[in-house]
Amino acid sequence: MEQSFFKELIHYNKPKESPFRLIGAGLCMICVLFTGYLTHQLAISSFGSLGIFTFLYYQRLPLKQLMLRLSIVGGFLTAGNFFGMLSTHAAWTAPIAVAAIGFLGRFFFRLYGIAKPGPFFVVMVTAMGVSTKIPLTKIPVMSGYFFIGVLFALVFAFILHFLETDPVPNNDVPKTVTQRVNQDPAAIMDSLLYSGILFFAVYLSVGLQLKNPYWLVVSCASILQGDNLRAMAHRNIQRIFGTVVGLAIAALLLNLSLSVFATLLVITALFVTVEFFVKRNYAIAQFFTTPMSLMLSILVKQQYLYTLLQFRFLGIVIGSLLGLLAAWLMTTSLTFYNRKFHSIE
């Protein structure tokens, strides 16, 4: 019997996963945060914390294949953030940069079966780069800080490979890009639609002059991570509800006047909590994503708290609704495309 929409919305999953992965994610975050703290360069903490998202692509694979995959993902993340920052020096290129990176990420991650989070973090760090005005001469330095996080992710992924005891699958048959496209021809159309939506999301966020425009873009991309239209509708409601609760928690934490040391510990705890809940219930994960993101946002530059909360809420609500509309358009378009494709075949 099919579950009701509401029951699916509040369902609490119980995935089987190694506790070492959660520990590894926490160690990645705390190491990069305190590298910046101990070297008195909080920019390392801020940018490096984005690079450690590489670790979240960890899969149980043969060591050589695992390290190659994570290195490519880490390079992709670094390049996305780099081109995002570069685009701020020619504002008209920002939508093009995010759309191009989004297309490549969606296309290749789908073809090569790189499981969730898929291209989401690539789009996220690119959009964050677009929202970060960095002097041209300092962009390579900030990319270097970002890559420090990637290196921590690779180190802990290497260690985790030997700590886990599950058997390593070895059934990957080498295929060319052409062979993969022939097996999944809809990947091109799907990626084009995805990149077009991201282009519009960036254009809209800049036009609305939100404090941090990337929040709208990231929310839109997050909704499009759902496996089907129903799952995307779930994410839309869960993200908006979770954000409202998360903003209340953020307001409480940010009013505590925590020291930098305590702030880094809280960010690490929030990050581990998000990773624990994200596969169990997306709404609960959002309770902690919002305060974590805001605390990272003010780590390097101080911003007016209540303005920040307001723009965060507006960006996420508008982005989530745009993502749901885009999901419906993509689903409808691909349904007609597949029907036409099969009729010609």
What tokens were used for 241? Answer: 């509800």
Q: What is the pTM of this model?
A: 0.86
274-305 pLDDT per residue, tens: 988 888 888 888 888 888 888 887 776 544 44
Burial of 205 (0-12, 13-18, 19+ CB in 10 A): buried
How is 25-89 classified by DSSP, letter by letter?
HHHHHHHHHHHHHHTT-HHHHHHHHHHGGGGGG--S--HHHHHHHHHHHHHHHHHHHHHHHHHTT
Residue 215: pLDDT band (50, 70, 90) is: confident
How is 230-265 classified by DSSP, letter by letter?
HHHHHHHHHHHHHHHHHHHHHHHHHTS---HHHHHH
Averaged over 51-61, what is the pLDDT? Answer: 90
As a whole number of angstroms, the distance between CA 321 and CA 301 comes to 29
157-208 pLDDT per residue, tens: 999 998 887 777 766 667 777 888 888 877 888 888 889 889 988 888 877 7
Averaged over 314-340, what is the pLDDT? Answer: 76
